Amino acid sequence: MSVFSEQDMANAFEKSLIEESIVRLPKFDFSFREVTCQQGIADFVCVNSNGLLEEYKFNKMSSIENSSQILALLKINVGRKFDYLIKQTGMSEISLNRHLKEMINKGYVNEINQKFYRCIPDISSNVNIWAFELKLTNWKRAIFQALQYKAFANYSAVVFPFDKSNVLQKNLHFFKELNIGILLYDANTNKNKWLYYPKKERPISRWHSFFLIGKITNQTSDDNVLSDDF
């Protein structure tokens, strides 16, 4: 039975991420702890593209949620009318007008002949976003949460202590079918082993992807971006 708490496990896992001692993980440019992503709160979100955060700096908006929703509906080469955005977002005319003007002023949206275009590009296929859910017990709950993170992440994985290996092995087919990674991790020794390494997938939702990028761009200046200063 695990002799450490989830907090102990998270602290140790954070250190392992910084030291790049988790097997088979790429080198991450940024890692963030406890990221609220509309689809729950991921224990860790890691990104392997520094350029991604530089390219999508739309964090200083009055509402990341509304801005990301609008950006997800807009296209670069096909204009969207105001009425279309009203219908799709459910925002009031006043609210939508305010957010569109804000994004136009910041250069994220352009208006031509009463149609709106997104100025920032789609997320590159070279970008890798990982989401991790740490648990001491309750693999079913872990699956539920990891599934939510697929809305924005290319890889979603759960992290459990080694003493849960047997029950996870018995239910490994669920994780494989859903393409959710399983990493065994010892918070005392930092030993780690993949029971199932996930395959890369396209995030399910452009809206949630833009929202996540807005959140983590904002958090690059907050305390929950990981550093090697211990």
pLDDT digits (tens, 9 = 90+) for 184-193: 999 999 999 9
**What ranges do the domains of the chain cover?**
6-53+126-218, 57-118
pLDDT tens across 56-79, in order?
766 678 888 899 999 999 999 999
Residue 229 has a pLDDT of: 41
Strands 41-47 and 109-112, how do they pair?
Answer: unpaired
Q: What pLDDT was estimated at residue 218?
A: 73
Give the count of alpha carbons within 13 A of 71, CB side only: 33
Q: Where are the alpha helices (DSSP H) in 59-198?
A: 64-73, 82-89, 93-106, 139-149, 165-170, 172-178
Q: How far apart are CA 132 and CA 192, in angstroms?
A: 14
Q: What is the mean pLDDT of residues 172-191?
A: 97
Pairing mode of beta strands 115-118, 109-112: antiparallel
Q: What is this structure's pTM?
A: 0.90
Distance CA 133, CA 19 (A): 19
Chain centre to alpha carbon of residue 116: 27
For residue 181, what are its two tokens? 């990674």
Percent of the chain with pLDDT over 90: 73
- Which one is predicted more confidently, 46 or 55? 46
- Summarize pLDDT for 119-166 with one digit per residue, the tens: 988 888 888 999 999 999 999 999 999 999 999 999 999 999 999 999
Question: How far is Cα 230 from Cα 228, in angstroms, rounded to an integer?
Answer: 6
112 or 223, greater pLDDT: 112
* CATH architecture, domain defined by 57-118: Orthogonal Bundle (1.10)
pLDDT recorded at residue 221 = 52
Please give the CATH topology (third level) of the domain spanning 6-53+126-218: Trna Endonuclease; Chain: A, domain 1 (3.40.1350)
pLDDT at 108 over 80: yes
- Given a cut of 50, whether residue 230 has pLDDT beyond it is no
Distance CA 34, CA 41 (A): 6
Burial of 65 (0-12, 13-18, 19+ CB in 10 A): middle
**pLDDT at res. 52:** 73
Assess whether pLDDT exceeds 90 at residue 55: no
Q: How many CB atoms lie within 10 A of CB 129?
A: 24
